[in-house]
Amino acid sequence: MKFDSNQILTRIGKKKVSDFIESANIINSNESVSKILGNLIKIKNYSVYFKNGNKITAVNLRDILSARDVKSQKLNSIAKSTPIIEEDSNIASAAGLMSLYRLRSLPVIEDGEVIGQITTKSIVKAMDHKDIKIKSTKIMTANPVSIHWNDLVLTAKNLMIRHRIDHVPIIEENLKGIITSFDIAKILLTADNLNNVHLGITEHTRPLEFPVKGIADRNATTSSIDHSVAHVIQLLNANNSTYSLVTLGNEIQGIITHRDIISLLGEKVEEDVPAYIIGLPDDPFASELAKTKFNTLVKFLTKTMPDIEEARCRIRLSTVRGKTKKYEIEVSIFTPTNRYSYRNEGSDLATIFDQMKDSLKNKLTQKNQKHVKK
């Protein structure tokens, strides 16, 4: 019996977290950042957990990049509370949390204690099915943040922290390579060993103040805009990679990471039309506001576009200056024949969605008037 993509994804999403539990790094909060960083690099893991009162706290590689001094700084100075999941929950719930909070792993809890973790990598492995025929361009992040060949590693690190990403393509007219948070973490750990002249490091070089070309991966994982999600999943699993750069010729069109793939299993926010929202703010009030506004927008659109098959919303925090946040919102609407994308940005989520609704209302009104005149 053949199943369509949605049926396959639904079946995967219903699987239990208990079938995916991996061992987790439970550590002492008083450990130094450098010691934990060394441990993560050694075992090729991304996150560690420890208990802070009744809360479970996590530190990942990207958090470590923000540390002022990896040698002397204690782990609890950069740790953050993390969402948790129970082993009898389903994979769709775990995928939704990781997509919304931009995480690669979640601690699995039993009686308030961490008994393991679930990772995006393990979920993506379970999604390896040839009949997921969704186009990869449907889930990719278009026009990803990038840098140039001679830009500093420090610049790449700051971009990762600011945009909450782990992969930055390197472009010099065409694709030259990629730098990841893991690449930078290894340099932070070995910053005292400045004997790697071939990297562009000398005894006078400050940590990370050398060109990215010194540590770039020149054999970046790539896929074509014509490839399906199934192909990308197979590619990532075969290469043990966490990303694929989507290209047209040698030009980058977008990037797909594990988080983008598992978003296909994520949380629905509207019952009548399949509608998903990715990148919700950490603040609970802002998160609920965004969900409500997106629901309202989808309901409005279905009244004028009854053939909508699916709606997706991606929220990005583009800049943070002091306490002022700037959001970029992209809404994609899928019909049987077309994909419509709408973008807006600003510092107030409610205003952004309201402006987007007014703009769409005007466009649809003009479209209907043209049809009437004909």
**Per-residue model confidence (pLDDT) at position 179:** 96
Amino acid in position 332:
S
Roughly how many angstroms between the first and final C-alpha of the chain, as a whole number?
46
Q: Is the pLDDT of residue 113 over 70?
A: yes
Name the residue among 327, 235, 277, 287 with its Cα closest to residue 99.
277
Which region among 20-24, 51-55, 66-70, 362-366 has the lowest average model confidence (pLDDT)? 362-366
Residue 231 has pLDDT above 90, yes or no: yes
Q: pLDDT band at 3, cuts 50/70/90?
A: low
- Maximum average pLDDT range among 69-83, 151-165, 198-212, 284-298: 151-165
C-alpha–C-alpha distance, residues 14 and 127, integer Å = 12
Which residue, among 127, 88, 89, has the nearest Cα to 265 in the 3D structure?
127
201 against 1, higher pLDDT: 1
Mapped onto helix, strand or coil, the DSSP state of residue 128 is: coil
Phi, psi at 322, each rounded to 5°: 65, -120
What is the reported pLDDT for 212? 93
Three-state secondary structure string covering 164-208: CCCEEEEEECEEEEEEEHHHHHHHHHCCCCCCCHHHCCCCCCCCC
> Residue 91: what pLDDT?
92
Contacts of 201 (CB under 8 A, 6+ apart): 194, 210, 214
- Specify whether the CB–CB gap between 247 and 253 falls below 8 A: yes
* pLDDT given for residue 367 in this prediction: 57
pLDDT tens for residues 47-83? 989 887 778 888 888 888 888 877 778 877 888 888 8
Is the pLDDT at 125 greater than 50? The verdict is yes
- DSSP SS3 for 4: coil
- Model confidence at 195: pLDDT above 60: no
Q: Are 246 and 253 in contact (CB under 8 A)?
A: yes
The SS3 assignment for 114 reads strand
The tens digit of pLDDT for each residue in 249-297 reads 888 999 999 989 998 886 444 446 777 888 777 777 788 788 888 888 8
53/45 Cα distance (integer angstroms):
25
Distance from C-alpha of 134 to C-alpha of 131, rounded to nearest angstrom: 9
pLDDT tens, residue by residue, 168-177: 999 988 899 9
pLDDT bin (cut points 50, 70, 90) of residue 102 is: confident
Residue 372 pLDDT > 70, yes or no?
no
204 or 166: whose pLDDT is higher? 166
Report which residue type is found at 134.
I
CA–CA separation, 57 vs 360, rounded Å?
42
Give 193's pLDDT tier (boundaries 50, 70, 90): very low
Mean pLDDT of the chain: 83
> How many whole angstroms separate alpha carbon 172 and alpha carbon 39?
34
Q: Position 316: which residue type? A: R
What is the residue whose two structure tokens read 């973008």?
A: 343
CA distance readout (Å), 80 to 101, 200, 239, 258: 12, 34, 31, 22
